[in-house]
Amino acid sequence: MIELCGISVSVERTPVLRDLTLTVGAGEAVGVTGANGSGKSTLLRLLATLLSPAAGTGRALGSALGSRECERIRPHIGLIGHSPALYSRLTLAENLRFFCRLTGVDVSAVGAALDAVGLGRSADRPVDRCSQGMQRRAELARVILTKPTLLLLDEPHAGLDTGSAGLVDAIIDDVCERGGAAVVVSHDRARLDVAVDRVLDLRAGSLHDALPSATVVPGQGLR
Ligand SMILES: Nc1ncnc2c1ncn2[C@@H]1O[C@H](COP(=O)(O)OP(=O)(O)OP(=O)(O)O)[C@@H](O)[C@H]1O
């Protein structure tokens, strides 16, 4: 699904990713943690084919990153970034019908997708009158509808209530069960440990195995 070898990416001429290597197989969900500014969102943008590598070789869903082959895989990539990618003047249902038409999905599935994320009663509400959490859930509905093969999530649990956070995990599981893959960026290590198969730490521009989560033993502090 993903194969990155010796990848470097610069943003505004500043090197962000350096000699980065990553392999993600079919059915696998990988979590990425790292300090603010370490390059996690940049890595997702690279995988979403929105940035090109300055050096190294990378493939996603079989296409070479930074090449024209990427046009072929874009419909199969689902990205939920920091800010909701929704048209603020359109209603939730209008937004989802728009994405369905872009990706060739039957628009009659929109109602069920909104129900699945608990937004069935808000279908006709314009996005600019929805809370941030509702907008996040609408993005999850978009992913439910478009069924991406490669799912890229940036802080997907942020701003969601406990029930909706479980939805994120279910969507990741669905992608993996269909033979796809997911890369999930999060500062919430406890949630990541539940949602993904392994966690990597982005440090000094490249990925390293993350240390096991710290466990607190009463009376003994951190172990
Ligand atoms: N538009 C931009 N112009 C210049 N530098 C940028 C731009 N966008 C990002 N950067 C720089 O690229 C680096 C990586 O940013 P990125 O957003 O990928 O980090 P991150 O690990 O996702 O951070 P956070 O945890 O805060 O979301 C940062 O040092 C940031 O300052």
Q: How far is CA 136 from CA 34, 87, 102, in A?
A: 22, 13, 20
Is 13 a pocket residue for ligand 1 (Cβ < 6 Å)?
A: no
Give the pLDDT of residue 214: 64
Query: What does residue 134 show for φ and ψ, rounded to 5 degrees?
Result: -65, -40
- The residue to mutate among 7, 41, 80, having the most atoms of ligand 1 within 8 angstroms of its beta carbon, is 41
Q: In what order do the strands lie in the sheet with 2-11?
A: 14-24, 2-11, 55-60, 63-64
Q: Whose CA is nearest to atom 13 of ligand 1?
A: 37
Please state the domain extents for the chain. Answer: 2-210
Q: How far is the CA of 143 from the centre of ligand 1 (A)?
A: 25
The ipTM is 0.94
Give per-residue pLDDT as tens, 12-65. Answer: 889 999 999 999 999 999 999 999 999 999 999 999 999 999 999 999 999 999
CATH class entry, domain 2-210: alpha beta
Q: Whose CA is nearest to atom 7 of ligand 1?
A: 11
Tokens at residue 168, please? 């994120």
Is 33 a pocket residue for ligand 1 (Cβ < 6 Å)?
A: no
Give the pLDDT of residue 162: 81
Give the pLDDT of residue 211: 83
pLDDT under 50: residue ranges of the chain = 216-223
The pairing of strands 14-24 and 181-185 is: unpaired
